[in-house]
């Protein structure tokens, strides 16, 4: 996976030396479910918004964890059935005191993804439920059970989040977009990172 710095507008990408740990793509989901899925958006077909960070902030439906009053907001588009997303969650936990993270669930087609994402959105304590979910997922037990009270509007929000990822030109998760605290530049990354790499990417000090 490549790590890119994106200055506004979203045109040029600069490859960095930080290595990511992998991500989950549409093809991964298709292979696992043996179901036909839509082709990933190409660079030509995807929208190239002049302000991608602001677009995600305005249109993404997610849940917030970490430093709620922080001016430094990090947006993470993730599939609840993606183990790489689970690893990024674990890496982000030590940084919760330094930044506000907004986790935005999408679905690549696994039948569990949308209901689990909607359940996380509806949770009274999403940080606690997300921790339990990712521990279960990484342990191979599938994650949390979907709530029976999930509403249609929350499931629709998952679809809209997935469309948002398409318009960003993304076809893998976790997809992270933030503003580097040191430089002020918009940065994006596809794939999991360890805590030190994530802190460097975000321009924040480790605890």
Q: Which tens digit of pLDDT belongs to each residue from 165-193?
A: 999 998 899 999 999 999 999 999 999 99
Of 24, 12, 11, whose CA–CA distance to 165 is shortest?
24
What span, in angstroms and rounded, lies between the C-alpha atoms of 40 and 60?
Answer: 19
| Residue extents of the structural domains in the chain | 3-202
* CATH annotation of 3-202: 3.40.30.10
Decide if pLDDT at 19 tops 80.
Answer: no
With 90 as the cut, is the pLDDT of residue 49 above it? no
Give 12's pLDDT tier (boundaries 50, 70, 90): very low
Check the CA dihedral 50-54-58-64 and report its sign: positive
């Amino acid at each position: 996976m490549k790590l890119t710095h994106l200055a506004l507008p979203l045109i040029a990408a600069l490859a960095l030396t930080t290595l990511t740990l992998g991500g989950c793509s549409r093809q991964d989901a298709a292979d696992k479910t043996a179901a036909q899925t839509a082709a990933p958006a190409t660079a030509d077909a995807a929208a190239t918004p002049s302000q991608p960070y602001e677009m995600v902030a305005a249109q993404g439906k997610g849940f917030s964890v970490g430093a709620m009053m922080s001016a430094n907001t990090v947006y993470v588009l993730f599939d609840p059935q993606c183990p790489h997303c689970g690893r990024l969650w674990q890496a982000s936990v030590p940084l919760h005191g330094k930044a506000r993270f907004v986790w935005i669930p999408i679905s690549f087609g696994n039948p569990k993804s949308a209901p689990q994402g909607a359940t996380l959105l509806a949770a009274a304590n999403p940080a606690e439920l997300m921790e339990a979910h990712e521990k279960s997922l990484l342990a191979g037990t599938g994650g949390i059970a979907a709530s029976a009270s999930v509403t249609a509007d929350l499931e629709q929000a998952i679809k809209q989040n997935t469309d948002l990822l398409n318009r960003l030109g993304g076809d893998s998760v976790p997809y992270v977009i933030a503003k580097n605290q040191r430089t002020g530049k918009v940065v994006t990354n596809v794939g999991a990172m360890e805590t030190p790499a994530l802190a460097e990417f975000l321009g924040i000090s480790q605890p």
